[in-house]
Amino acid sequence: MKIATLLLITCLFPAALRAEVEVNRAMLGMFQPIPEVAENPANPVTDAKVDLGRMLYYDTRLSKNRSVSCNTCHDLASFGDD
């Protein structure tokens, strides 16, 4: 979270930051870590598909003016968050 956003929330909603939060333990089971690989027997993951995806992610030829790739806005150096 960006510092400016955090400061804004702190100033505008100080009571919300101090509020007690009740966690529904029964609902926690819905949240699990994301798997490393999403297996699909009908479409198995292969090294060739992973390499193709990586190539396309950085390829600027897919944009109209050939200057923008997925990584332009979703830079993996900052965890893909723009």
User: Domain boundaries in the chain?
Assistant: 3-78
Query: Over the stretch 26-78, which tens digit does the pLDDT of each residue have?
Result: 888 888 888 888 889 999 999 999 999 999 999 999 999 999 999 999 998 88
The yes-or-no verdict on residue 4 having pLDDT over 80 is no
CA distance 80 to 82: 6
Query: 43 is written with which tokens?
Result: 């479409």
pLDDT band at 11 (very low <50, low <70, confident <90, very high): low
* 69 and 59 Cβ atoms separated by less than 8 Å: yes
